[in-house]
Amino acid sequence: TSNQMWGGRFAAGPDAIMEAINASIDFDKRLAAQDIAGSRAHAAMLAATGIVEASDAEAMREGLLTVLSEIEGGSFEFSAALEDIHMNVEARLKEIVGPAAGRLHTARSRNDQVATDFKLWVRDQLDAADQGLTALIAALLDQAEAGADWVMPGFTHLQTAQPVTWGHHMMAYVEMFGRDLSRVRDARKRMNECPLGSAALAGTGFPIDRDMTAAALGFDRPTANSLDAVSDRDFALEFLSVASISAMHLSRFAEELVIWSSAQFRFVALSDRFSTGSSIMPQKKNPDAAELIRAKIGRIFGAQVALMTVMKGLPLAYSKDMQEDKEQVFDAADNWLLALAAMTGMVGDMTANRDALEGAAGHGFSTATDLADWLVRERNLPFREAHHVTGSLVAKAEARGCDLPDLTLEDMKEVHEGIDTSVFDVLGVHNSVASRTSYGGTAPVRVREQVARWKEVLG
């Protein structure tokens, strides 16, 4: 039998393989709530503009609510023959309200319908990501506040560089996730224009009110070009870009947690709630959540590349290729939001090992720069010369198998006779971090200021 939506010019129905490649209902059923919200707004507008009878519109709007409750209640029977969520909903609506349902698709196409539905869905995900990022930042602020003056090694090349504070390290991630949050908000603003009423590609001759549907669906305004509106998937791509950058941040942090929770570092202990054991090695407590967060970026990056590739050669306006936009975005959104929640849980639960952090902070000649700075400040050496003198002292300590503060004053004087006992003050890790008071520096006073600023930003 031919299709009930467009059977007019068809004598035969589709081959089973045609149906298999064409149907999207298995995944686009996730757009049901958005589709019904869009249709309800459209029906109300059709009545307000006199395009359909008010009683028909009211029947459709009521019927759509019934369809929604059937879908939400799990009793709705999805049909692949009806291809996608839009036609599944409309067909069921017809069963419920009768021929009046046939008026719903006046001045509308599935092209503007799907663009609207998908935008609404992506917008919801941005709102969820906004909340997820905010919760993660709050958890990081708690960690930063508790350990604003705990000292730990700062690394470059994963080699000990200079002491930093735990709070400063946590706040570095607050900045990253804070930028992610502002990207989420930017993207939401940019995408918040309503495609509905663009119809198939050219607009419509019916006297529709696009401002009305846009407002009803929470959009700032209708889109200004109908060809663009049905062809545009920038909003999904921008979502994936924002998600990719954020997932990259999550992955870097996850990598640090994997390293830090190892027996070799012992910088943090993850909670039982966010660790797993081994089926053979009884001693194991594995950071699986961190590892999975680290790995999930693969699918999020992959989604972005996949959708870019789908879109890159498409002539205007709609092509069926665009049906391939959804699964990638669904998967990326699910995994990004899950990774954010898992990271928030881990950060909230984890315990920093203050002793291990401070112990490690003093190793690896981490205050060598402080010593060089001291020679510049107190003995007026040019920095290059101070660097050289300090390098010789490091070599001496290394040969002796000790750290810089373990050298005697005599050892030091042998290398540079201007050195006196006051130098030992700057070799301590606490003095080192306390001295770094430049704006944005690691000194506890600066860290506390940033914590306070962020708490105000988050409200």
Catalytic residues: 157, 278
Shortest distance in whole angstroms from residue 195 CB to ligand ARG = 12
Shortest distance in whole angstroms from residue 325 CB to ligand ARG = 7
Q: Which residues bind ligand ARG (CB under 6 A)?
A: 24, 28, 84, 110-111, 114, 318, 320, 322-323
Instruction: Between 88 and 442, name the residue whose CB sits nearer to ligand ARG.
Output: 88
Instruction: Between 108 and 446, name the residue whose CB sits nearer to ligand ARG.
Output: 108
Tokens 């020679």 found at: 375
Shortest distance in whole angstroms from residue 111 CB to ligand ARG = 5
Instruction: Between 20 and 54, name the residue whose CB sits nearer to ligand ARG.
Output: 20
Shortest distance in whole angstroms from residue 47 CB to ligand ARG = 25
Shortest distance in whole angstroms from residue 204 CB to ligand ARG = 15
Shortest distance in whole angstroms from residue 323 CB to ligand ARG = 4
Instruction: Between 87 and 433, name the residue whose CB sits nearer to ligand ARG.
Output: 87
Instruction: Between 29 and 285, name the residue whose CB sits nearer to ligand ARG.
Output: 29
